[in-house]
Structure 1
Amino acid sequence: MENMNDDHMHGMMHNNSDGGMAPAMHPRKMMMHMTFFWGTDALILFSGWPGTSSGMYVLALFVVFLLAFAAEFLSHSQLMNPGSASHVTAGLVQTLLHALRVGLAYLVMLAIMSFNGGVFLVAVAGHSLGFLLFGSRVFKKSPAAVPGKTSDLPPSMSC
């Protein structure tokens, strides 16, 4: 098999005429970063997004920030009143909220896997601001309604 350049993703492998494997050569080669880099030329979550426009890059950063912030909101908010719903209804709502929180967290993780330094910083900033507002004691006015319960969902991580 011929040597592949580590800086480029050559695509899928295919069988060549002598029975060996060779990279499938595509006219448009895509660079895939495997270390953090700085710049606006990044692929975040979707092919071709945010593109080469710096305005779209800023929008992509804002979206990643909101995803991380929303994941923290769901992790630390008590959205149901205790005793207001049946156990089955409460369990279904908890399951839906859990699925939403996990989905948001995975989207943030996939965005970070673009290895763009700006994406990493806004993801950490979104989680941090969300925790500051919803999870820390800074803005708590009264203790939780149920002792020890601060959220409808179990914590996303235990430190």
Structure 2
Amino acid sequence: MESGKAPHHDMGGTPPAAHASGTHLHLMHMTFFWGKNAEILFSGWPGTSSGMYALALILVFVVALLLEWLSRSSLLKSGPHDVTAGLLQTALYAIRSGLSYMVMLAVMSFNGGIFLAAVAGHALGFLIFGSRVFKKRGVTASDERSDAPLMK
């Protein structure tokens, strides 16, 4: 520690999550907030446009729904275990993991609408692809198989 300087303790003023870019000071939300003026995933997106915010909500909803489908789908045909099938299975797992992190980061914008869109996408996806509502009778859990194992 340099002599004559007190340790830096931010007891007020600028929040620790603030950063300066150019001449503007951007504050990151650390609690949930409501409104269309948000930054989700990319700097300046969706900005202050209502249309772009609606697009962001739809995108997060669709990606969450897609994640539920990927988690419960069986795209690869049953057959001999080979390197190609293993690589395809690994690629599907990597895609699902990447999309999961993107949804998580979008929710970390702390925007209430984005949070609700993610939860609604996962819920509808589970209803369609994971619940008993649309399952054929007589199918047991041991009959079901997913290309990418469920994340725990």
Report the TM range for the smaller structure's normalisation: 0.7 to 0.9
TM-score (norm 1): 0.81
Q: Describe how 1:126-145 pairs up with structure 2 within 5 A.
A: 126-141=121-136, 143=139
2:19 to 4, 10, 33: 10
**1:95 is aligned to 2:104:** no
| Contact kept in structure 1, 2:15 and 2:27, CA below 8 Å | no
Give the corresponding residue for 2:48. 52
1:86-117: CA deviation from partner (whole Å, max 9, x where unpaired): 42111111100000000000000000010000
Q: How far did residue 149 of structure 1 move? A: 3.6
SS of the aligned residue for 2:43 comes to coil
Secondary structure at 2:39's aligned position in 1?
A: coil
- The answer for the alignment partner of 1:18 in structure 2 is none
In 1, the alpha carbon distance for the partners of 2:131 and 2:9 equals 54
Q: Is the 8 A contact 1:39 1:116 kept in 2?
A: yes
How far off is 1:152 after superposition? 1.3
| AA at the equivalent of 2:130 | G
- Runs of at least 5 residues in structure 2 that lack an aligned partner in the other structure: 1-7
Contact 1:7 1:31 in 2 (8 A): no
Which structure is richer in relative contact order (CA contacts within 8 A, separation 6 or more)? 2
CA RMSD after TM alignment: 2.1
Q: Counterpart in 1 of 2:4?
A: none
Instruction: Name 2:99's counterpart in structure 1.
Output: 104
Q: Describe how 1:9-158 pairs up with structure 2 within 5 A.
A: 9-11=18-20, 26-83=22-79, 86-141=81-136, 143=139, 147-157=142-152
Structure 2 vs 1, CA of residues 89 and 120 (structure 1 numbering), >3 Å: closer, same or farther?
A: same
2:116 aligned counterpart, secondary structure: helix
Query: Aligned partners of 2:19, 2:83: CA distance in 1, in Å?
Result: 51
Flag as ranges the 4+ runs of structure 1 deviating above 2 A.
1-4, 146-150
Unaligned runs of 5+ residues in structure 1 are 12-24
* Percentage of identical aligned residues: 57
Whether contact under 8 Å (1:10, 1:26) holds in the other structure is no
Please give the TM-score of this superposition, normalised by the length of structure 2: 0.84
